[in-house]
Structure 1
């Protein structure tokens, strides 16, 4: 009887061990949603879920978001980044920022790195098709949603946000022509290779055709980690080429760092005969625009914080499972010194009190987002 009891006990132990082994083998063969590894080949680490269904969409908190920036120099980029951070925090996400320091190949590598690290969603800032296409396609294959800002990419399913660049250029160029009486000599500060610049150049070419008595006498521009300083030095050289009052009517600057550098050069040279018409707006830009001694008199822009916020909203729409457009155009506003108070310095947070349409955009906001505090 004792031997029979021992035999039964031994069989029970063996049966339990076999059952546990079967469960372990089965668990090792599970393929995690969003993982590119075949079943059974993983390390056992559970990867983040990157596909969202209606059932999963009720809670988006804890999503890991990557922001890949071509550069982050200048106050515009800093305020844009502040808007991104603010909105990611609103949704309870975690933001990691990669900065390529104007190196396009580095940006491409950083985008692929973000995909390989299996972020839940990816934002990109600037870059071009050659830089971004491979990484964005890889993100699509991994079911990682992507929203780009200011990039000439056309990939189905990738949402691209732009500022209405042609309209911004038209706003400032028309004011230049009006102030100049439809004639004069101008300097263009612009550079190729950036999506917003290419769109602004279209409006500039149309402008020259419309106003044949306005002549371009010089053109330059490059983006670096010291864009404003480089622009200032080049503008100083042009002022020496055209030292007489009236030889330069105005400067059209297609980017605020260009406008800042040119304004400092002109102001330091004591040239009160030259006006600057720029694009973009930040707190630092606004200080210069309000300064009556500055040649920078007008700019067209979208609130950089709003750009960041709106871009994040579209990414979280995708994470929520919503369908989003492939192209989103933001509405710019025109800002002239004459609209601003002369007795106090204001910030871009206060600019909406003086310029209709500035700041506080609700673009990209959805009803379900109300559960996430602002």
Structure 2
């Protein structure tokens, strides 16, 4: 496939293939369709998760690991602890985990209510540890602040699947799975760069997330690095919002007042993008293209309709929670994953930040969150 403005990855001529750099397993070399593993995507990158049967030694004869599959096997109790679902993406994380667990007859899910208070979340996780769950899946409100409770679980012999916001120590988890914040910014910048590469003195603006979060800084760094490949493009303004509708509206209004003319906007988060779009409509502006972030259903539907400034969104798939359940199930049954020569589950799995445009939106629409 030849490069086109719809391909945000100039270094990867096939936009249907996941990134394969050393820092990312990208669903172990699967196709882009399988990168979005999980309940909403309709497929797990793991082959499933649980038979205790040895398949009469056929796997060993073939030189394969004892991998998980869909057959019911040893029962596993998975403790799930995440932050409060006060955001569309976080709510989708919770739903993905719960729905995935329901698919397995051998899984019991013990889920906490979720909290953004570090002390309260620590208490919830300690309760799960005291219940002696087999495996823990934890999306910490603050990875650094909750590292000690991750260490406590691991020392108690409970393997931890660290979801997205990483603990400060690798000793606090057995496996980490999450999104690629730097890659998210990189691909947003590449998409915009390809769209504006022939425009002289092009200008872009950025509506970022919460600035004291490492993920926000990584998204901005990736975006800036991508734009370095397009000398005709200059980022003329940046505002940090708070991943809320209200902050998106107020900060976008400030950007519009400060910059009466620009060609593209990258917004880090589709939820705060609701507010950004309100400000754009109130200002009567439609002279630029907008790229969103995370992959909400609302934004994907707008991309498909092609009747607004929104032309693309860069995924940060909440399906990672469904895959975390797959991993936890496999860990609880001492299984590996299909498609790998290694016997053990990897220590780190980074998802690919695909760009959704009108050309591929139908493929990704089922994964969009509300």
> Which of 354, 363, 370 is equivalent to 1:333?
354
> Which of 70, 82, 85 is equivalent to 1:72?
85
- 1:21-76 per-residue CA deviation (whole Å, 9 max, x = no partner) reads xxxxxxxxxxxxxxxxxxxxxxxxxxxxxxxxx79x97333x43222212323333
Gaps of 5+ in 1: 1-53, 352-374
Distance 1:152 1:166, change over 3 A: same
> Which of 248, 254, 258 is equivalent to 1:237?
254
- Is the CA contact (8 Å cut-off) linking 1:288 and 1:296 kept in structure 2? yes
- 1:60-101 per-residue CA deviation (whole Å, 9 max, x = no partner) reads 33x432222123233333333222112211223232333545
In structure 2, what is the Cα distance between the partners aligned to 1:214 and 1:287? Answer: 29
- Is the CA contact (8 Å cut-off) linking 1:84 and 1:309 kept in structure 2? yes
Partner of 1:275 in structure 2? 289
Distance 1:350 1:233, change over 3 A: closer
1:97 correspondence with 2:118? no
- Is the CA contact (8 Å cut-off) linking 2:189 and 2:227 kept in structure 1? no
Distance 1:348 1:317, change over 3 A: same
Distance 1:104 1:294, change over 3 A: farther
In structure 2, what is the Cα distance between the partners aligned to 1:129 and 1:339? Answer: 34
Pairing 1:142-221 to 2, within 5 Å after superposition: 142-153=156-167, 154-156=169-171, 157-180=173-196, 181=199, 183-194=202-213, 196-211=215-230, 213-221=233-241
Alpha-carbon deviation of 1:337?
Answer: 2.7
Pairing 1:46-125 to 2, within 5 Å after superposition: 59-61=73-75, 63-92=76-105, 93-125=107-139
In structure 2, what is the Cα distance between the partners aligned to 1:312 and 1:286? Answer: 26
- 1:315-360 per-residue CA deviation (whole Å, 9 max, x = no partner) reads 111101233221011233221134447xxxx982288xxxxxxxxx
Alpha-carbon deviation of 1:251?
Answer: 1.9
Please state whether the residue corresponding to 2:253 is helix, strand or coil.
Answer: helix
Please state whether the residue corresponding to 1:72 is helix, strand or coil.
Answer: coil
Distance 1:105 1:236, change over 3 A: farther
1:311 correspondence with 2:324? yes
Partner of 2:21 in structure 1? none
Distance 1:298 1:158, change over 3 A: same
- 1:201-243 per-residue CA deviation (whole Å, 9 max, x = no partner) reads 33123235444541231321224xxx1232112222332344x
Distance 1:193 1:178, change over 3 A: same
In structure 1, what is the Cα distance between the partners aligned to 2:234 and 2:140? Answer: 31
RCO higher in 1 or 2 (8 Å CA, sep ≥ 6)?
2
In structure 1, what is the Cα distance between the partners aligned to 2:307 and 2:87? Answer: 22
Partner of 1:298 in structure 2? 312
Alpha-carbon deviation of 1:143?
Answer: 1.3
1:256 correspondence with 2:289? no
User: What is the count of residue pairs matched by the alignment?
Assistant: 287
Relative to the length of structure 2, the TM-score reads 0.68
Alpha-carbon deviation of 1:279?
Answer: 2.0
In structure 2, what is the Cα distance between the partners aligned to 1:88 and 1:250? Answer: 41
Please state whether the residue corresponding to 2:246 is helix, strand or coil.
Answer: helix
Alpha-carbon deviation of 1:146?
Answer: 1.2
Distance 1:140 1:295, change over 3 A: same
In structure 2, what is the Cα distance between the partners aligned to 1:99 and 1:319? Answer: 23
Gaps of 5+ in 2: 1-51, 54-67, 336-343
In structure 1, what is the Cα distance between the partners aligned to 2:291 and 2:258? Answer: 21
Distance 1:303 1:152, change over 3 A: closer
In structure 1, what is the Cα distance between the partners aligned to 2:216 and 2:127? Answer: 27
- Is the CA contact (8 Å cut-off) linking 2:186 and 2:225 kept in structure 1? no
Alpha-carbon deviation of 1:193?
Answer: 4.5
Distance 1:107 1:261, change over 3 A: farther
1:348 correspondence with 2:361? no
